[in-house]
Structure 1
Amino acid sequence: MPSHDRVIAVSHLSKTFGPVRAVDDLTFEVHPGRVTGFLGPNGAGKTTTLRMLLGLVRPTSGTATIGGRPYHRLPRPLRTVGAALEASSFHPGRTALDHLRTYAPQVGVPDARASEVLDLVGLGGAADRRVGGFSLGMRQRLALATTLLGDPPVLLLDEPANGLDPEGIRWLRVFLRALAAEGRTVLVSSHVLSEVEQTVDDVVIIARGRLVHASPLDDLVRLARPQVRVVSPDAAGLTALLARGGWTRAGDPDATGHAVDLVDVDAATVGAAAFAAGLELHELSTRNPGLEGLFLDMVATPAAPTHPEVAA
């Protein structure tokens, strides 16, 4: 399949449920050979967006396509897109192998493929166990096995790390990156950046249904700059010090004028300038918000989107 047939494209996508605007003018792209993290807090609109991509929910406006086509127009949708939106839709009385054998004819693959994908996800030894006795982590693996039945070039996975122990999360990280290395398009949703930051190549971050950031992960890392916190009882003196230094503030200024957070400057430089100006300081500290802190700031107060398209 040509690489352009594996591109996920969401364009000005919106969905309204009564008075609730679950997805609001969302635009981004996801490219093959990459693992893309689709991130946002619970209720941000991630699952609704995935369901629109799969034709399970009709958009109010905009488009959601795979290879330039909506899901219902794909020639062989189950062989093109593998999707796992939940890990609970299993008959508890069926074995893992029987569950996959039930889906194999719908996908158009032989029964032997069921055993192959169970081995791929590390459930080969549990093939004859009833799913009702599976842990949540095992159900997540079985859901992933189901998505892989048709060997699809595009994967949509909703919270696949939910319920996995640390070993399972490490396994999932390696597995997803291996799938992307084969040229597949892998879109993974999560409400926790720290859960996927060692896995993904690109990030798409939404909040309240709106895009707040989309870029390669490396670009997001560069935004997570260390900050210097400066607190002084002399608000006027602090204002004068900042004017002389020409430093960049991080976020909105403190209402009292007694505290400020700065970026692109180190504490030693600020301290030396304060000493030279005779300014009393009550706090001078370096804070590193890290990626998770940056992510939480972004989703707390959605603003204009940055990097509106994830590049290949």
Structure 2
Amino acid sequence: MPAPPLVVEGLTKQFGPLRAVDDLSFSVRPGAVTGFLGPNGAGKTTTLRMILGLTSPTAGHSLVGDRPYVEHDRPGRVVGAALEASSFHPGRTGLAHLEVYAPQVGVSRARCREVLEQVGMEHAAKVRVGKYSLGMRQRLGLATALLADPPVIVLDEPTNGLDPEGIVWMRGLLRRFAEEGRTVLVSSHLLREVQASVDDVVVIAQGRLRHASPLAELRSRAQPATYVESPRLDAVAALAAERGWRTATDATGLQVEGATAAEVGGAAYGAGIELHQLVTRDADIEAIFFELTRPEEER
């Protein structure tokens, strides 16, 4: 059975005078990892809680396939979610925690050991959760989400507390989920944490949608940059100014923003400027992200 999409339509949440989420609409397609991005306080967790029926919306709705999450016969078998890495009984072992949830989603105790192994936590099965590090709790939350092998995965800041090796592992796991055809939604407040693993991005700020597209489209909006080393950096800077390219200096060279290496090299050759190094820098999509999420009053 194919994984269902997630659809959010006009979702709004008002807490007294605060509008945490404001007329938010987007969709999450199967077979892809969608990064749900925005600064802290943007409304990401509130949105995820509404999708999962944990918070009632003031207006709008969200659908998992053709119906709201809570209207599925066994929602936990359709959507596996991990929102907080602290909602565990500290006196229970990791295995005991999973065994409490197993009957709710209709899986065996053997499955509990399987998912602990899947997330690399079999060594801590009999350790009380109160002794777990934040990274270990993140993995246990993921194991809980995977108990029923659901077609839809929703994770809130899943790399928080993971070491570099754990972050690489998480990226690989998310990619495998997408390759299996699952619908995957992953929130983060930092684009660089997820850009290596996501296919699509949904960017929000102050509870409102700021951008939704494939990651490649967001990348295309970023300006190219080229690093240059030359015995005549002043001449390169002057040439860049003539072409309308911005420049920034560092200890050994010059970064030319808004131009590709081919453009800079061709212009320098035409002007007779000797170059010792010419390197294309990755497009700075983080700059685009920060511009998208800047408070509206500063835009």
Aligning the two structures, in what range does the TM-score lie when normalised by the shorter sequence? 0.7 to 0.9
What is aligned with 1:130? 128
Deviation, structure 1 residue 23? 0.7
Where structure 2 has 5 or more consecutive residues not aligned to the other structure, the ranges are 227-240, 247-255, 272-279
- SS of the residue aligned with 2:63? strand
Task: Indicate which of 45, 61, 64 corresponds to 1:63.
Answer: 61
- SS of the residue aligned with 1:300? coil
TM-score, normalised to structure 1's length? 0.78
Distance 1:287 1:301, change over 3 A: farther
Report the count of equivalent residues. 265
Task: Indicate which of 176, 180, 183 corresponds to 1:182.
Answer: 180
Give the Cα–Cα distance (whole angstroms) in 2 for the partners of residues 262 and 166 of structure 1. Answer: 30
TM-score, normalised to structure 2's length? 0.81
Distance 1:127 1:176, change over 3 A: same
What is aligned with 1:40? 38
Distance 1:130 1:201, change over 3 A: same
Deviation, structure 1 residue 248? 10
Q: Deviations over 1:228-264 (max 9, x none)?
A: 9xxxxxxxxxxxx99xx7x799xxxxxxxxxxx9846
User: Is contact 1:225–1:288 with CA below 8 Å preserved after alignment?
Assistant: no
Give the letter for the 1:2 counterpart. Answer: P
- SS of the residue aligned with 1:220? helix
Mapping of residues 116-265 of structure 1, within 5 Å = 116-226=114-224, 263=258
User: Is contact 1:212–1:302 with CA below 8 Å preserved after alignment?
Assistant: no
Mapping of residues 8-87 of structure 1, within 5 Å = 8-87=6-85
Distance 1:142 1:287, change over 3 A: closer
Give the aligned CA root-mean-square deviation in angstroms: 2.6
Q: Deviations over 1:25-71 (max 9, x none)?
A: 11110011111100000000000100000111111111111102111
Give the Cα–Cα distance (whole angstroms) in 1 for the partners of residues 281 and 115 of structure 2. Answer: 46
- SS of the residue aligned with 2:111? helix
Mapping of residues 230-309 of structure 1, within 5 Å = 263=258, 290-302=284-296
- SS of the residue aligned with 2:23? strand
Where structure 1 has 5 or more consecutive residues not aligned to the other structure, the ranges are 229-240, 250-260, 276-285, 304-312
User: Is contact 2:203–2:211 with CA below 8 Å preserved after alignment?
Assistant: yes
User: Is contact 1:210–1:302 with CA below 8 Å preserved after alignment?
Assistant: no
Give the letter for the 2:76 counterpart. Answer: L
User: Is contact 2:26–2:212 with CA below 8 Å preserved after alignment?
Assistant: yes
- SS of the residue aligned with 1:23? strand
Give the Cα–Cα distance (whole angstroms) in 2 for the partners of residues 119 and 75 of structure 1. Answer: 28
Give the Cα–Cα distance (whole angstroms) in 2 for the partners of residues 152 and 114 of structure 1. Answer: 14
Identity rate of aligned residues, in percent?
59
Give the letter for the 2:148 counterpart. Answer: G
1:107 aligns with 2:98: no
Distance 1:144 1:72, change over 3 A: same
